[in-house]
Every structure is written in C-alpha cells, then in structure tokens.
Amino acid sequence: MTRLGCLAVLAAARCAQAQPFEAGLFGGVSRINRSDIGSFSVGDVTRISLKDGWCFGGRMTFNSWPYFGHEVGYKYNRTQWQLSEGNFGSAIHQGFYNFLASATPEGSRVRPFATGGAHFTNFIFPGQSVTQGGGSNKVGVNYGGGIKVKVSPKYMIRLDMRQYIQGKPYDLPNQSGRLTLLEISAGFSFHL
C-alpha cells in the first residue's frame, strides 16, 4: 500500500471514530419579540400580536468530527393570537438544520457548543390544524448555544438557547419587520 493510501485509511478510521449519533427530546419556553404581525380591517381596525408560549420537540445530531457536528430537528410551539376581542390559541411548527461547533471534543463529559443554521416555520391560523393544510410558511435563520452533559455513557442532558428570525406570517396589512422567537429549553438525549 502506498503512503497516500495508508494516510487515507488512517484518516477514514479517525473520522469513523468521531461519528457518534445523538437523539433526544426537549421542552421549554418560546419568547416572541416583535410580535405585532399586522391588523384585520373588520369594522374597527384590530391589531394582532403573538403571545409568548411553550415548545417541545426532538433533535438528532451527527457528530462528524471531534469538535463539529450537524443537527436536524422539529419543534412545536404553542402561542396565542392576541386581539382586542380576546386571545385565540394557535400553533407554530418549525423544522431546522444547524451546524454545531463544540468547545470540547466528542467523548467529553461536558460539551459547551455554539450553533447556527436555517429553518422553516409554518404558522397555523387559530382554530385550524396543520393537517387541514394552509398556514403561512416562512424561512429564516437561527443561532444560539448551549451545553451538553453526559450523565452516563449512553445518556445526556442538554440546555439550549436559540434565536429564530423569520418573516411575519400571512402578509397582513400594516405589517413590518421580522418576527424573532427565542427558545430556552432543556432536554434529554440518547447517545451512541
């Protein structure tokens, strides 16, 4: 085997060692900033804003290098549309891809990390569900950080804080700016 072939085999073996998989669930709060999403013109003009709520979801992480990895996931947010007539429950669905950079290598007991990526958001009109179709879809970017702590060889807990930035839903009259959603969550993951 040539010297280049030996280096390629060693590099592939090293990459294969640093490819653990994580899968887990999380829950937390969703803080919505710039929550004014426009107005309806039915009789008197009614301003609409989204209220803070809660969230839960799942993440899968593939650590392809000792300090770096990729993550995909889904998050369900529960919110309310706040109108002068009252509050009306609504859902926000998000799917995301993020790149992760950790301060410590794979296998460490404690792993602080930074993350950034892209996501799509599906806003559901009050009284409807995602299975009825419709909704308002927006794409955006997100960034944040957190910490993962192994509590056993197979299990870990994690804390995350992420900022999601996307357009406002439904293109309502008197709408401007971007909607930002801050996730503060805790989760439990299985580690291979």
pLDDT, tens digit (0-9, with 9 covering 90-100), for 76-129: 999 999 988 889 999 999 999 999 999 999 989 999 999 999 999 999 999 888
Picking from 71, 22, 53, the residue whose alpha carbon sits closest to that of residue 192 is: 22
Question: At 75, which CATH number?
Answer: 2.40.160.20
Q: How confident is the model at residue 147 (pLDDT cuts 50, 70, 90)?
A: very high
Domain assignment of residue 13, yes or no: no
pLDDT, tens digit (0-9, with 9 covering 90-100), for 8-66: 544 444 544 545 899 999 999 999 987 889 887 666 668 899 999 999 999 999 998 99
Range of the domain at 147: 19-191
Global confidence as pTM: 0.84
Q: What is the pLDDT of residue 2?
A: 58
State how many domains the chain has: 1
Domain assignment of residue 2, yes or no: no
Domain assignment of residue 89, yes or no: yes
Domain assignment of residue 88, yes or no: yes
Domain assignment of residue 9, yes or no: no
Domain assignment of residue 132, yes or no: yes
